[in-house]
Amino acid sequence: MRLLIAGYTFHCWELLGMWSWTPAFFAAVIAISGSNFGETVHFGAYLVASMHLVGALASVTMGRLADLLGRRVVLAQVAAIGDSPVLSTALTEMVEPGHLGSILAVRSLLGFGAGGIAPLVFGAILDLTNPPNTAPETWGWAFTILGLGGLCATLSAILYKEPGIPS
C-alpha cells in the first residue's frame, strides 16, 4: 500500500510540475527563436490540451492493459502520464472497504500536495541555475527535478509486490 501511495505521490510531482512548466518552456524557446508571440501562446495551450487528452486516453487503455498484464508490469512501464488509474485501482483492490475513503484521502493529500509543491521547486531551481535579471536559458536542471519523480514512481512500481502474482 505504501509503495502505491508513494508511486502516486511521485506521479503527481512529475505530472503537475510538467503541466505547469511545459507551456512556459515552449513559450521561452519560441520567443528566443524570434517567432511570433501569438503563435507561442497557442502552441503552449495546444500542447497542454494534448497532454490532458493523452491522460484521458491512458485512463481507459492502461487500466485495461493492467487487467491483462498485471498492475506492476504496467506501472513499471508507464510511470508517468498513464499510471494514475492503475495506481488508484491497485490501491482500491488492496484496502479493506471500511478504510478505503481514508486511504484514498491520504493518497490525494500526498499526491496533490507534491504536485502543488513541484512547480515552486522547479521555479526556484530555474532561478538558481540562471544568471540574475536575465531570461532563463538553462532549463535542464529544473526538468531533471521533475524527472526524478518519474524515476521514483518507476522504482516504487518495480518494488511493488502485486497480490497473487509472483515477483
pLDDT reported for residue 165: 64
Specify if 150 maps to a domain: yes
| pLDDT at residue 163, rounded to an integer | 76
Q: Provide the pLDDT for residue 41.
A: 65
Q: State the Cα–Cα distance between residues 79 and 15, nearest whole angstrom.
A: 10
Report whether 86 contacts 74 (CB < 8 A).
yes
- What's the structural domain count of the chain? 1
With respect to residue 165, please indicate whether it lies within any of the assigned structural domains. Answer: no
* Cell of residue 76, nine digits: 513499471
Give the integer Cα–Cα distance in Å for 139 and 130.
Answer: 8
Q: 130-165 pLDDT, tens per residue? A: 999 988 889 999 999 999 999 999 999 889 888 766
The amino acid that residue 125 corresponds to is: I
Q: What is the pLDDT of residue 9?
A: 96
Residue 76 in any domain: the answer is yes
> Does residue 166 fall inside a structural domain?
no
Q: Give the C-alpha separation, 160 to 157, whole Å.
A: 5
Task: Print the domain residue range for 107.
Answer: 2-159
Tens digits of residue pLDDT in 44-55:
677 778 877 877
Q: Tell me, yes or no, whether 112 lies in a domain.
A: yes
Q: Are 6 and 154 in contact (CB under 8 A)?
A: no
SS3 80: coil
At 50 the pLDDT is 82
pTM (2 decimals)? 0.83
pLDDT tens-digit series, residues 2-38: 999 999 999 999 999 998 998 888 878 777 777 666 6
Return the C-alpha cell found at 131.
Answer: 544568471
Segment 97-125 mean pLDDT: 96
